Amino acid sequence: MMYQDWSMGNPCFGGMGHQPPCVPYENVITNVKLARAYVPFQKLCTLYPPDIALQKGTVFPELYSPYLKKKDFKTSPLMEECGDDDE
């Protein structure tokens, strides 16, 4: 049975270096108004393979956000900036 393996290894999520070619969300939001909340728009980058996607609860690496024990907070990927706006 052939599986589509789309895990090309987004370097943003633990792969090949620190120059991500694909950022899975917009990081500039324009035309904002006061007293409004905005949510960055998601962009498609890579997908988990189906078996991993089901285990992780999402097919999008950028949306994988597991509960962590308090002691694991500092080393969690969420605490690292990854391909974010450094400007």
Q: Could you tell me the smallest distance in angstroms from the CB atom of residue 67 to other proteins? A: 6
Among 5, 6, 27, 84, the residue binding other proteins under the rule CB under 8 A is 6
Tokens of 45: 């980058």
Report angle CA 87, 30, 84 to the nearest 5 degrees: 30
- Told to check if 66 binds other proteins by CB under 8 A, we report yes
DSSP annotation of 42 reads B
- What is the rounded distance in angstroms from the CA atom of residue 72 to the CA atom of residue 87? 29
8: left (phi over 0), alpha (psi -120 to 50) or beta: alpha
Tokens of 29: 């939001």
Site string for other proteins, 26-45 (x = CB under 8 A): -----------x-x--x-x-
- Contact segment (CB under 8 A) with other proteins among 9-17, 26-34, 65-73 equals 65-73
Task: Tell me which residues touch other proteins (CB under 8 A).
Answer: 1, 4, 6, 37, 39, 42, 44, 47, 50-51, 53-56, 58-60, 65-68, 73, 76, 78
